[in-house]
């Protein structure tokens, strides 16, 4: 066993883990943050995407011990005082989901996309940048619409993008 300390959704946490523990296991099993999903466990689907020091990563392909000292944001960390993050709100509004399994990863990828590419995202950019996120239900159409709208809404929201993402 080894100790890992990090900041998750603004809170300092410390856990004692087997070195084999993946970041997604630390989040789900130790911290009970089950919003982050495991779809494939083979690095393909993006259901497990979280932000590591502000950047989207696949938490099924990251060791918990590797992120010692880092800052992690999960889907649970986006809403503020019960008010949905503009990107979450856009997914609700535009019905960017069906079963919802891919949704946490989609939304974390979408917020990362906005911090890399800004608030005005065209369809081609969004589809290209969703390379690492697979959805078995929607056919992507409403996800793309939701991301475009969410990106714009994030621009209008008072909080700067990075701040909201972290």
Partner 1 sequence: MYAFTYHRPATARQAAGLLAKKEDAKLLAGGHTLLPTMKQRLASPTHLVDLGGCADLRGIERKGRNVVIGAMTTHAEVADSAVVREAIPSLAYLASHIGDPHVRHRGTIGGSVANNDPAADYPAALMALGATIVTNKRKLTAEEFFTGLYETALEEGEIVVRISFPLVSKAGYAKFRNPASRYALVGVFVAKRGSEVSVAVTGAGEGGVFRWPEAEAALKARFAAKSLDGIKHTAKGINADMHADAEYRAHLIGVMAREAVARATGK
Ligand X SMILES: Cc1cc2nc3c(=O)[nH]c(=O)nc-3n(C[C@H](O)[C@H](O)[C@H](O)COP(=O)(O)OP(=O)(O)OC[C@H]3O[C@@H](n4cnc5c(N)ncnc54)[C@H](O)[C@@H]3O)c2cc1C
Q: Which two tokens stand for residue 51?
A: 């932000």
Annotate each residue in 108-147 with x if it binds ligand FES (CB under 6 A) or - if it does not, as one string. ---------------------------xxxx---------
Coil/strand/helix, residue 166: coil
- Distance between alpha carbon 29 and the CA centroid of its chain, in Å? 17
CB neighbour burial string for 95-130, b if at least 16 within 10 angstroms, e if fewer: ebbeeebbbbbbbbbbbbbbbeeeeebeeebbeebb
Among 98, 117, 153, 157, binds ligand FES (CB under 6 A): 98
Among 40, 92, 128, 160, binds ligand FES (CB under 6 A): 40
Annotate each residue in 5-44 with x if it binds ligand X (CB under 6 A) or - if it does not, as one string. --------------------------------------xx
Q: Name the site residues for ligand FES (rule: CB under 6 A).
A: 38-41, 43-48, 58, 60, 97-102, 135-138
């Amino acid at each position: 066993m080894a100790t890992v300390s990090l900041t998750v959704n603004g809170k300092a946490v410390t856990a004692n883990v087997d070195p084999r523990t993946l970041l997604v296991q630390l989040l789900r099993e130790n911290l009970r943050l089950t919003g982050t999903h495991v779809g494939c466990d083979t690095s393909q689907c993006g259901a497990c995407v979280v932000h590591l020091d502000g950047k989207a990563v696949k938490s099924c392909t990251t060791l918990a011990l590797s992120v010692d000292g880092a800052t992690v944001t999960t889907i649970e960390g986006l809403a503020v005082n019960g008010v949905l993050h503009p990107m979450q709100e856009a997914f609700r509004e535009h019905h960017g989901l069906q079963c919802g399994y891919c949704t946490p990863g989609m939304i974390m990828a979408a917020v990362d996309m906005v911090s890399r590419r800004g608030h005005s995202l065209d369809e081609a950019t969004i589809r290209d940048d969703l390379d690492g996120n697979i959805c078995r239900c929607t056919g992507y159409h409403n996800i793309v619409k939701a991301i475009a709208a969410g990106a714009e809404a994030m621009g209008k929201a008072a909080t700067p993008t990075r701040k909201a993402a972290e």
